[in-house]
């Protein structure tokens, strides 16, 4: 597996990973509620992914293996991680951890002291295991889901 910056040509496959990850892996968050899924998936389109790739305030990464996109993650230049989704076919293969590590490296490169995010219930254990901590009470997400604000102070690499 390798992690690299996303390219415009990745938009279709990246969008498919985002949509499958939400639909298939985040069931504890959407609970099969059609309105919740519709709201969550509304901006997960190839056009939106292309826009995120082209936005200079975003840093969008792809994890790939054997020419297949395994995961998609993004961070705003503020250090806010806005996406981190893995293909159901690549679950439990450390794809999310590799993507977050690369985003944290970019944040350090930008001189940022911390990364923040809003975790799903599904991903919360992962973030706790890699050093993120709760940064406030859960807030309403889409429909039945909750978002858990989290933060991690970055230690400069030596």
Q: Is residue 129 part of a domain?
A: no
Number of domains in the chain: 1
> Sign of dihedral through CA atoms 143, 70, 154, 124?
positive
Q: What is the pLDDT of residue 120?
A: 86
Q: What is the pLDDT of residue 121?
A: 82
> Residue 50: beta bridge partners?
none
Q: What is the pLDDT of residue 29?
A: 76
Q: What is the pLDDT of residue 39?
A: 86
85 CB-contact burial (10 Å; exposed 0-12 / middle 13-18 / buried 19+): buried
**Mean per-residue pLDDT pooled into runs of 10, the chain (158 residues):** 96 95 85 84 93 96 96 97 93 92 96 94 91 92 78 87
> Residue 148: beta bridge partners?
119
Q: What is the pLDDT of residue 158?
A: 66
The CATH number covering residue 22 comes to 3.40.630.30
Q: Is residue 127 part of a domain?
A: no
Q: What is the pLDDT of residue 141?
A: 74
Model's pTM, two decimal places? 0.91
- 147 with 139: CB under 8 angstroms? yes
> Sign of dihedral through CA atoms 134, 112, 122, 48?
positive
Q: What value, to the nearest 5°, has the Cα angle with vertex 114 and ends 29 and 57?
A: 80
Please give the residue range of the domain that contains residue 38: 2-110
Q: How many Cβ atoms from other residues are within 10 Å of residue 58's Cβ?
A: 16
Q: Is residue 125 part of a domain?
A: no
């Amino acid at each position: 597996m390798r992690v690299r910056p996303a390219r415009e040509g990745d938009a279709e496959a990246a969008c498919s990973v985002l949509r499958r990850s939400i639909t298939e892996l985040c069931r504890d968050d959407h609970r099969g509620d059609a309105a919740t899924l519709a709201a969550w998936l509304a901006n997960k389109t190839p056009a939106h992914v292309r826009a995120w790739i082209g936005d200079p305030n975003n840093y969008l990464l792809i994890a790939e293996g054997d020419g297949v996109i395994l995961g998609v993650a993004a961070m705003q230049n503020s250090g806010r991680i806005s996406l981190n989704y893995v293909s159901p076919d690549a679950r439990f293969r450390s794809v999310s951890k590799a993507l977050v590590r690369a985003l944290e490296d970019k944040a350090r490169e930008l001189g940022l002291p911390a990364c923040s995010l809003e975790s799903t219930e599904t991903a919360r254990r992962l973030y706790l295991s890699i050093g993120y901590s709760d940064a406030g009470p859960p807030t309403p997400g889409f429909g039945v889901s909750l978002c858990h604000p989290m933060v991690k102070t970055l230690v400069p690499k030596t």
